Every structure is written in structure tokens, then in C-alpha cells.
């Protein structure tokens, strides 16, 4: 492939990744709601679905890049109330998923590989968020660490498992249907 074709492929890939970032931002703008009345600030949103799809299509590095871009844009516009802490938490959560699931799927691009990648990605994401909440939530909210620790089994763990699980299932159902567009 000559330099012009290489640039063209890279330009199209960049445009497709930008489209995924835009879709992610629109999704969080349109769809967000609390899952637990006891913690209304923990909202479900489908913003990670385009990032998960981009991770599968372009690899874990692209998934991390998508995560950072979406987190910064989302955290300074539609979800600005979370301030820098929301950006950090989103990068930790979705970035951990992108690294793990992206690497697994890159090695085994089959339906079984996708299921394994998504399942392991969800588990890693949930574990990272339990730890991140223990570290960051007391700083951000002033809540005692013991109070945050008490929320892990009843609110934080289930919330992150449900949110990541829904986004993983939707990604699984959509990816093959739209992957031809991302790869052409």
C-alpha cells in the first residue's frame, strides 16, 4: 500500500472513531437515569457501547483513546457536575474494560472470544470501580471511607455490574451487525 492509501485508511479510521465519540456523547445526553433510589447520582447511560464497539473494531489502544476523548468531552459538557472526578472515574472504568476486553478479543475474534472478552471486561471494570470508589469517592464527596466501603456490596458493586453488563450485552448484539461498516 502506498503512502496515499495508508493516509486514506488512517483518515477513514479516525473519522469512524470520531463518529463513535459523537454517538457516545449523544447517547449519554439522551439516555441517563438512576438505577438505585438510594444513590440517585449513580446513573445508567449507554455511552460505553460505542466505546466497546470501537475497542472490538480497532483494538485496545483505540478503545482507551475513545474512552479518554468521551470522558473529557462528557465530563466537561453533559456531565460536568462530576467535575474532574467523574472524568477520572470514567477513564478508570471504561479504560480498564478496553484494555482487558480489547486484548482478549484481538487474540480470539470469534463469538466465543467476544463473550469471554465482554465477560472478563465487565468483571475487571466492576472490580476497578469498587477500588476507585474507595479511593476517589471520599475525596470527591467528603464521605467517610467506611461509609463508601459499606456501599460496595449493596450499591456500588451491583450498579457497576448492571451498567457494564447491559452495555456488554448490547455491544454483543450490535457489533457483528455494524462491524462491516467500521472495517470498510
Whether 168 has a pLDDT exceeding 70, the answer reads yes
Average pLDDT over residues 163-167: 98
Distances (CA, A) of 149 to 75, 132, 146: 25, 11, 5
Instruction: Give the span between the Cα atoms of 72 and 84, in whole angstroms.
Output: 9
Topology adopted by domain 3-183: Arp2/3 complex 21 kDa subunit ARPC3 (1.10.1760)
Residues 6+ positions from 41 with CB-CB distance below 8 Å:
34
Q: What residue ranges in the chain does DSSP mark as E strands?
A: 33-34, 43-44
Instruction: Give the span between the Cα atoms of 159 and 62, in whole angstroms.
Output: 26
Contact 23, 52 (CB under 8 A): no
Residue-wise pLDDT for 58-116, tens only, equals 999 999 999 999 999 999 998 767 789 999 999 999 999 999 999 999 999 999 999 99
Amino acid at each position: 500500500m502506498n503512502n496515499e492509501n495508508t493516509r486514506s485508511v488512517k483518515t477513514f479510521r479516525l473519522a469512524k472513531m470520531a463518529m463513535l465519540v459523537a454517538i457516545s456523547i449523544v447517547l449519554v445526553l439522551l439516555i441517563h437515569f438512576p438505577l438505585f433510589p438510594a444513590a440517585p447520582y449513580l446513573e445508567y447511560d449507554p455511552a460505553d457501547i460505542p466505546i466497546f464497539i470501537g475497542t472490538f473494531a480497532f483494538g485496545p489502544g483505540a478503545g482507551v483513546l475513545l474512552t479518554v476523548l468521551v470522558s473529557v468531552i462528557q465530563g466537561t459538557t453533559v456531565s460536568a457536575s462530576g467535575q474532574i472526578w467523574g472524568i477520572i472515574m470514567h477513564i478508570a472504568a471504561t479504560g480498564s474494560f478496553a484494555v482487558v476486553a480489547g486484548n482478549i478479543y484481538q487474540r480470539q475474534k470469534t463469538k466465543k472470544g467476544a463473550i469471554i472478552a465482554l465477560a472478563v471486561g465487565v468483571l475487571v471494570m466492576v472490580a476497578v470501580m469498587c477500588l476507585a470508589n474507595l479511593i476517589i469517592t471520599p475525596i470527591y464527596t467528603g464521605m467517610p471511607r467506611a461509609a463508601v466501603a459499606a456501599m460496595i456490596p449493596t450499591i456500588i458493586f451491583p450498579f457497576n455490574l448492571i451498567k457494564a453488563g447491559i452495555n456488554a450485552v448490547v455491544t454483543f448484539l450490535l457489533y457483528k451487525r455494524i462491524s462491516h461498516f467500521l472495517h470498510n
